[in-house]
Amino acid sequence: MADDRMQGVLRDAADAAALVVRLSWQRMLSAWLYTPAGILLILAACFGVNALIGLSAVSFPAGVACMIMLFVTLIACEAVFGDRKTRKVVALLDIPVLPVFYSFFAAKSPAHHSTQCGFALRYINIFFCPSFVLLPLSPAISGVEVGKIIAVFIVGYGVMLAFTAYFVRGLQIVLGTHKRAMTERAEEMGDEDDDIPLTQVRHASDASEAASMEPSSRRESAPLLLEELRAPLRAQDPDRITGTGGPPAAASNTEALPSPTLLRQNPLPLTRPQRWATYINARADILTYSGIFLLAGLPTYYGAGYAMPAQLALNVLAYFFALSLPPRWRKYLHPVLVSSALTILGIWALALCRRDSLFDGLHAYSTKTRYLQLWGAVTKPAPTGTTSATPPQRRPPGAGDLFSSVLDVSIVALALPMFQYRHELRRHFLPIIIPNVAISVASLFAYPALCAALGISPPRALSFASRSLTLALATPATANLGGDLNLVAVLCIMSGIMGVLVGPWALDVLKIPEDDYITRGVTLGSNSSAVATALLLASDPRAAAFSSLSMSLFGTVTVALTSVPPLVRLVAGLVALP
């Protein structure tokens, strides 16, 4: 009896495994082959562009250069080949759909089930984690300086928000664009519907709203693949099937008779292999990274001393947990902050088991060996009087180095939303460009000088120049200035959270009309970047378009300005750096 039961379990497990393979082989092929191949190709392009930039005296991030080149190329492609062929090019450039994290998010958002979006843009938040995870390695900072940083951040955010809102609103009044009718605005946004696949994300909201009408417990317990696994319905009673071509008399007699009670035909329950397959498919990514952590990460870490597989899986699992928190919690507990805190605790626990310290674990998390160092053959110049140079010893990359490397792919991918809203950029060029350039210049000169006058250390003062950029572009801008990369990560994320908490309320207090979507979008995009843009996607998609444009352009202008050596020296002089 026990043998028969065991054979049944094994047979059901084999059937479940076969069912999982049949239903998800395309997703897994995309996740583990197409997506990594696309990422490697983009990184190779960034590496080549970086080599060309290295031949000049300009310090410009390769990722931003590739983003600008991609945007210009798409514009030229549309002008030469037309919209239809350009859409095909964009579909090829878009990182393949159904990436490694897909099923987890698809269970959370039905809209993603039929939508293609760039992997590097959809999961850009997890690539910001290294900046937060490495915070304990930052130099010690006094409580007085922390208070000054908080004061400058809060006051500066309010002043810059008001300045941006009134500046953009004034331009709107001068140019007359604030008088556009609501119908014309809706038509402007409708023009973008067929441009590139990214625009289709919001149009699945009807399905999401329909799904939200069901009880929450039922929605959570029914994975998306349930319909594919469900057994066929029982056949109806032939006597109850009525046709449409019967004689009128028969129809009238039927109507006169009392209608019988219709029996509800419930589907047959799922078999055990189908239940197992549904569970595995709904949690494929969590199970995959748990397996990597237990079966590959821990043995490699404690056997060979290489921490990357264990720490990478740990970081991803922490991010999954952060995303599973209730939406009202995530409004204050940003997934990057939660997952980074959990990752630090996990790295500490893993290091203690090896009798190492937290700092040892963090140094293994980031060995400073990104793709540029890993692929490059850079050697130190030979000292005077010697005949050869010793090449630097490169350590294998850590989990943080992999995330930081893929962040360059996310920077390149920012060209896609910019191209998506190219018509808005052309129609409202001045109200978008002029405020972003002005705010970029003001931030670049005002923040460092103010922070230095208050006694904040020079590297942290320089970090404030990139305070409101999206972190993907704030990182290279701050690196060009020589600022504190860890502090700028905190400032950027907190700026986004401030935009979600007080941004709409502050615009109401400033008397910015709700239908002025240009002012609202540009103001929140340039002050609160991607986090506020995500808020606008749910409340005002028209403003979200301009927020996305403003976020990308503001960051690009700031990176371009910080790539000019004389300008960098001028800003450094404001904080008394040589």
Q: What is the 3-state secondary structure (H, E, C) of 414-473?
A: CHHHHHHCHHHHHHCHHHHHHHHHHHHHHHHHHHHHHHHHCCCCHHHHHHHHHCCCCHHH
- Give the tokens for residue 456: 């904040």
Please report whether residue 546 resides in a domain.
Answer: yes
- Top pLDDT among 218 and 471 is at 471
Q: Which of 203-207, 375-379, 430-434, 503-507 has the lowest mean pLDDT?
A: 203-207
pTM (predicted TM-score) = 0.72
b/e burial code for range 291-319 (CB count within 10 A of at least 16 → b): ebbeeebbebbeeeebbbbbbbbbbbbbb
DSSP string, 49-83: HHHHHHTSS----HHHHHHHHHHHHHHHHHHHH-H
CA distance linking residue 578 with residue 569, whole number of Å: 8
Which of 43-47, 93-97, 171-175 holds the top average pLDDT?
43-47
Q: What is the pLDDT of residue 260?
A: 54
Q: DSSP state, 383?
A: P
Hey, what are 320's tokens? Answer: 């999954």
Which of 137-146, 225-234, 561-570 bottoms out in mean pLDDT, i.e. has the lowest?
A: 225-234
Residue 133 has a pLDDT of 92
**d(C-alpha 453, C-alpha 267), whole Å:** 72
pLDDT at 32: 81
Structure-block tokens of residue 233: 């319905």
Q: What is the pLDDT of residue 239?
A: 41
**Residue 458 CA to its chain's centroid (Å):** 30
Taking residue 547's Cβ as centre, other Cβ atoms within 10 Å add up to 31
Residue 534 has what pLDDT? 72
155 in a domain, yes or no? yes
SS3 at position 377: coil
The two three-digit tokens of residue 43, written as one number: 């990184």
Chain centroid offset of residue 558 CA: 21
Nearest Cα residue to 534 out of 470, 465, 466: 470
- Res 254: pLDDT: 45
Distance CA(31)–CA(98), nearest Å, equals 6
Where do we find the tokens 């349930």?
A: 226
SS3 386: coil
* Residue range of the domain that includes 560: 1-103+120-190+400-576
Asked if residue 478 belongs to a domain, the reply is yes
Contacts of 96 (CB under 8 A, 6+ apart): 30, 34, 35, 38, 119
Angstrom distances, CA of residue 7 to CA of 17, 277, 308, 389: 15, 18, 39, 65
- 271 located within any domain: no
Instruction: Decide if 88 is inside a domain.
Output: yes
Comparing 79-93, 144-158, 183-197, 381-395, the range with the smallest average pLDDT is 183-197
- pLDDT of 180 over the 80 cut: no
Torsion region of 246: left, alpha or beta (phi above 0 gives left; psi -120 to 50 gives alpha) = beta
Q: Does 36 fall in a domain?
A: yes
Residue 450 lies in a domain: yes
Note the pLDDT tens digit of each residue in 257-312. 455 555 666 677 878 788 888 888 888 889 999 999 999 999 999 999 999 999 99
Position 18 pLDDT exceeds 60 = yes
pLDDT digits (tens, 9 = 90+) for 110-130: 333 333 345 666 777 788 888
- Return the pLDDT at 121: 67
Tokens matching residue 118:
């760039």
Q: Which pLDDT band holds residue 108 (cuts at 50, 70, 90)?
A: very low
pLDDT, position 259: 52
Number of domains in the chain: 1
User: DSSP letter at 117?
Assistant: -
Report which of 562, 575, 553 is spatially closest to residue 480, judged by C-alpha positions.
562
Q: State how far the Cα of 531 lies from the Cα of 501, in Å rounded to an integer.
A: 11
Query: Phi first, then psi: what are they for 193, rounded to 5°?
Result: -60, -40
How many Å apart are CA 29 and CA 32, to the nearest integer?
6
Q: What is the pLDDT of residue 553?
A: 87
**Residue 1 covered by a domain:** yes
Question: What tokens were used for 476?
Answer: 């290279």
Q: Look at residue 317 in the predicted model and tell me its pLDDT.
A: 95
- Summarize pLDDT for 371-430 with one digit per residue, the tens: 988 887 444 444 444 444 444 567 899 999 999 898 888 888 878 877 888 888 888 888
